[in-house]
């Protein structure tokens, strides 16, 4: 199905407010440290492996991806002369910290970013150009396209995948058996999801059909949009300045969720769930089926018999929101060759299989979807294979529009599901105004 994000040919746009990035003039001064233009050249000629000569590299990542980042850094440091010094920044503080560091020419050699915010950094010149280096990798064509394309600006590549988190359905096979449902036949349409959730909910005794984060904008884009994409539709226009969230397909999605709310199929607390405890409901074993981040699979109780399935559209199809982090080399770094050595290694077979796959995380390469760890758990193979069907939306005003609790998307969500949906057109227009602001 591919990604909604195409090669970047857009003029540079700069984010204001919470992202706190700088003006073009300031960035040209801040980032022009001998690496060519403001975007840097990544050290010059293509080199698939980089240099391992004992350099000390600095790296930042947000707290949301700390376990994966720490595992990769620890293994790299144990096997290379170069050493990476990792700093984990609170997720809510990350964007402001990067913006401030860009202004003071104090960016680390390497820094990761939530993939939906990568376009802000590429268009503002914070990353070095990695095009030749990425293209020189023997597995370049197998890298997660969603992350590569999100980090492509004016036909140049600036980042590589760091961590991947996909939205998928988790369903409780024990509850399915009790509800006389086939535990090996998850829903292939939104209607079947509705039927199965209701069948489990009818068990009673504290069991509920489904759950979702009803006061969490990020949860909504992560788990609702795939049902729209699965129908072959887009949620935004190509340059991320217009919303298409009031379509007939989108209405079917909202109507299904509203039906669950109205009929008490949803576990208690959905209306007030801000995302902080969203993923802690399913592991308790009292919910039949719900969309979840794939990264939580390895954290599930060992005695919980759960299945994994793609998120379907109203009439079929499948898709997923490919989230997680991408990572690049700062345009101000004087150690681009050494930094690339770390990045290239993280994408290699050893790191992807023996570290990423071993921890039940999603691998960054489609050619490694089936590996010695995932083959022992068909659920992992299913998750890994979904990367090819996934989307990562592109919008420079993504944060203020979709993640901000005071943003217009959350209002649309709540009006559509906890209200009567009558203001959907107006809410969609408010989203567009925020995106284009």
Per-residue pLDDT tens digits for 217-254:
999 999 999 999 999 999 999 889 999 999 999 999 99
Pairwise CA distance, residues 49 & 156, whole Å? 19
Q: Is the pLDDT of residue 71 over 70?
A: yes
| pLDDT average, residue stretch 180-209 | 98
Residues 374, 377, 380, 384, Cα dihedral to 10°: 50
**Is residue 295 within 8 Å of residue 316, measured between CB atoms?**
no
Q: With cut-offs at 50, 70 and 90, classify the pLDDT of residue 95.
A: confident
Q: Is the pLDDT of residue 370 over 50?
A: yes
Percent of the chain with pLDDT over 70: 89
**Is residue 232 within 8 Å of residue 316, measured between CB atoms?**
no
Mean pLDDT of the chain: 88
Half-sphere exposure of 34 (CA within 13 A, CB side): 5
Tokens of 252: 């079917």
Query: 167: closest CA among 321, 274, 31?
Result: 321
Q: Is the pLDDT of residue 167 over 70?
A: yes
Residue 47 pLDDT: 63
Q: Is the pLDDT of residue 396 over 50?
A: yes
User: 256-289 pLDDT, tens per residue?
Assistant: 999 999 999 999 999 999 998 999 999 999 999 9
Pairwise CA distance, residues 145 & 288, whole Å? 32
Pairwise CA distance, residues 292 & 180, whole Å? 23
User: 323-367 pLDDT, tens per residue?
Assistant: 999 999 999 999 999 999 999 999 999 999 999 999 888 999 999
**Is residue 355 within 8 Å of residue 62, measured between CB atoms?**
no
User: Which contacts of 67-75 are long-range, i.e. CB under 8 A and separated by 24 or more positions?
Assistant: 67/359, 68/162, 68/163, 68/356, 68/359, 68/361, 69/112, 69/162, 69/163, 71/355, 71/359, 72/346, 72/351, 72/355, 72/356, 75/351, 75/355
Percent of the chain with pLDDT over 90: 77
Element (H, E) at 423: none
Residue 199 pLDDT: 98
Q: 305 Cβ partners below 8 Å, 6+ apart?
A: 172, 173, 174, 183
Helices 248-262, 408-417: inter-axial angle, 10-degree rounding: 60
pTM: 0.81
């Amino acid at each position: 199905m591919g990604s909604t994000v195409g090669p970047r040919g857009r003029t540079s746009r700069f984010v204001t407010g919470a992202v706190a990035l700088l003006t073009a003039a300031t960035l040209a001064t801040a980032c022009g440290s001998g690496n060519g233009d403001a975007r840097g050249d990544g050290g010059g000629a293509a080199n698939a492996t980089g240099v391992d000569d004992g350099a000390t590299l600095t790296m930042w990542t947000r707290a949301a991806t700390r376990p994966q980042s720490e595992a990769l850094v620890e293994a790299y440091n144990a096997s290379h002369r170069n050493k990476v010094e990792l700093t984990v920044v609170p997720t809510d503080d990350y964007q402001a910290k990067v913006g401030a560091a860009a202004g003071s020419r104090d960016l680390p050699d390497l820094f990761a970013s939530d993939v939906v915010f990568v376009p802000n950094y590429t268009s503002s010149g914070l990353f070095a150009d990695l095009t030749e280096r990425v293209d020189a990798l023997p597995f370049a064509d197998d890298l997660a396209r969603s992350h590569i394309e999100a980090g492509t600006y004016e036909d140049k590549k600036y980042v590589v995948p760091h961590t991947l988190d996909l939205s998928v359905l988790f369903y409780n096979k024990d509850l399915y058996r009790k509800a006389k449902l086939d535990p090996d036949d998850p829903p292939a349409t939104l209607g079947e999801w509705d039927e199965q959730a209701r069948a489990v909910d009818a068990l009673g005794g504290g069991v509920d059909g489904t759950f979702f984060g009803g006061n969490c904008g990020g949860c909504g884009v992560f788990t609702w949009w795939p049902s729209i994409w699965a129908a072959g539709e887009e949620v935004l226009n190509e340059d991320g300045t217009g919303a298409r969230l009031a379509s007939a397909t989108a209405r079917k999605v909202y109507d299904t969720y509203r039906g669950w709310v109205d009929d008490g199929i949803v576990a208690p607390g959905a209306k007030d769930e801000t995302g902080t405890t969203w993923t802690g409901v399913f592991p308790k074993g009292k919910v039949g089926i719900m969309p979840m981040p794939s990264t939580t699979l390895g954290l599930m109780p060992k005695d919980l018999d759960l299945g994994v399935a793609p998120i379907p559209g109203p009439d079929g199809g499948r898709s997923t929101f490919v989230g997680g982090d991408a990572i690049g080399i700062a345009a101000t770094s004087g150690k681009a060759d050494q930094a690339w050595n770390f990045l290239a290694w993280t994408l290699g077979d050893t790191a992807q299989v023996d570290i990423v796959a071993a921890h039940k995380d999603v691998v960054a390469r489609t050619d490694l979807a089936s590996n010695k760890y995932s083959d022992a758990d068909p659920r992992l193979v299913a998750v890994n294979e979904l990367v090819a069907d996934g989307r990562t939306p592109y919008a420079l005003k993504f944060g203020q529009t979709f993640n901000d609790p005071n943003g217009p998307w959350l209002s649309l969500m709540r009006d559509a599901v906890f209200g009567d949906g009558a203001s959907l057109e107006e809410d969609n227009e408010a989203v567009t105004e925020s995106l284009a602001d």
